[in-house]
Amino acid sequence: MPGFDRPLRPWLVCLAVLLVLDIALRLGVDRAHPFWHDRLPADRVQWDQMAIDQVIAGIRHDRGRKIVVLGDSVMAASGLPYWATTSGQLAQQWQRHDPHVRTRVYDLAMDASRPGDEFAVLVDTIAAHPDIVVIEMNVQMFSRAQAEEVPFWYPYLHRVVQQLPAYQAAAKRLRLPETDPREDAISHAAQGAWALYRYRELLDGLLIGGAPLERLRGAPPVPIAVLAEPTSLYPGVFVPWYDRHDVAYFHSQMGQAYVDTPFDAYPNPSLFFADQIVRYLNGHHVRAVVFLTPVNHGLIDPVVAPAAYAAHVQRLNRIFEGQSFVYLNAQAALPDRFFLDDDHLTPMGHVRLADALYQAMRPYGATAGP
């Protein structure tokens, strides 16, 4: 009807603009933030929850040997090129020792992630049928130093686990976030269907230099940088902790977090999710390697009560030992010279850790791959 043409024109123009923005953003952002060698880009996963889904989709369609790595910044190693990280070194190990089967190591580690985040990614990843899953358990994830009142560093991953009966039963006791699964499902669908909303934080950074409310309150502009994957090592960036003269600073910042009993028993959200990871791996017969990260004892020991730390490690051993998967306690595996700080590794530290993990994964070699 002619009378309806005029009111519809502004809406059609808006829809056309949104469609153009949708296509431009998908092409532009994916080109600026590609998935470098099956690695989650650290600067992208913070604002784009679909990044994880995109990598998992790649795993699902891969026909070679598929190894998935879950963890926090220790494994993510954002400042290093992929080939120099533990995951990249693992890929080289498998290709060198078993060149007849193409092996890809998908690095789904995320900076500052918690065991709750790892559990959520694990649940989604298993549906893609990887051959082996490697799960990093940072010893410090379970301490007050990691602010364990925040069980999800990436809140959108909460949607994966909130429908599990064990989560619902423990939510109030452990002060876990309780939200409506339907709202999370709608939000997740909207993120995937509407690129303008999906990339809102990137747009805010590019257009106004940050979040609108923060900018209105007078915050200085902090544009989101478009980062490229490093391809080579920059020696000046990887200065070991003992050459930075920051030992006193570390102790002043971290000391209070380790006073008295820093490693709490239940109720502790991270211990709860560690237990859920074990149950999930056992119940789904997943070929997995779970390992405790190496620790720089030269920095940690002066601020941790030895008895409390030893009890904490024994508690973790009791959770992971004697299960259906391989367990590697590597918290004392590396000398202090292989650390940048308390737990992040130098390039040679990543080589050493990859060697230890490869040896732990060897029992799965005969059954992994096509």
- The CA distance from 359 to 29, in Å, is 38
User: In 3-state terms, what secondary structure has residue 245?
Assistant: coil
Of the two residues 354 and 257, the one the predictor is more confident about is 354
Q: Is 245 exposed, middle or buried (0-12, 13-18, 19+ CB in 10 A)?
A: exposed
**Given this model, what pLDDT does residue 76 score?**
95
Higher-pLDDT residue of 70 and 310 is 70
Q: Which of 365, 330, 370 is nearest to 349 (CA)?
A: 330
Residues 6+ apart with CB under 8 A from 346: 238, 240, 337, 338, 339, 340
Strand 65-70 with 132-137, pairing = parallel
Q: What residue ranges define each of the domains in the chain, with the CATH number in brackets? A: 1-32+180-227 (no CATH), 35-158+169-175+240-364 (3.40.50.1110)
- The pair of structure tokens assigned to 113 is 């992630």
Helix or strand (DSSP H, E) at 66: strand 65-70
Q: Of the ranges 29-38, 66-75, 174-183, which one carries the lowest mean pLDDT score?
A: 29-38
Q: Identify which has the larger pLDDT, 346 or 307.
A: 346
Q: Which helix (H) or strand (E) holds 326?
A: strand 326-329
The pLDDT value recorded for residue 318 is 95
End-to-end CA distance of the chain: 60
**Which runs of consecutive H residues, i.e. helices, occur in 127-268?**
158-161, 165-170, 181-193, 195-198, 200-207, 212-216, 241-244, 247-254
Amino acid 8: pLDDT: 61
What is the pTM for the complete model shown? 0.85
Tell me how far apart the alpha carbons of residues 312 and 295 are, in angstroms, rounded to a whole number: 14
Element (H, E) at 134: strand 132-137
User: Cβ distance 321 to 284 under 8 Å?
Assistant: no
- 266, pLDDT greater than 80: no
Which residue in the block uniquely carries the two structure tokens 């989650």? 40
- Residue 257 is predicted with a pLDDT of 67
Length of the chain (residues): 370
The predicted pLDDT at position 281 comes to: 97
Higher model confidence: residue 217 or residue 346? 346
Where does the pLDDT of residue 97 fall: very low under 50, low under 70, confident under 90, or very high at 90 and above? very high
Is pLDDT of 249 > 70? yes
Which of 16, 34, 365 minimizes the C-alpha distance to 196?
16
Q: Mind listing the pLDDT tens digit for each residue in 319-344?
A: 999 999 999 999 999 999 999 998 99
Q: CA–CA separation, 102 vs 91, rounded Å?
A: 10
Q: What is the mean pLDDT of the chain?
A: 84
Neighbours of 184 (CB within 10 A): 18
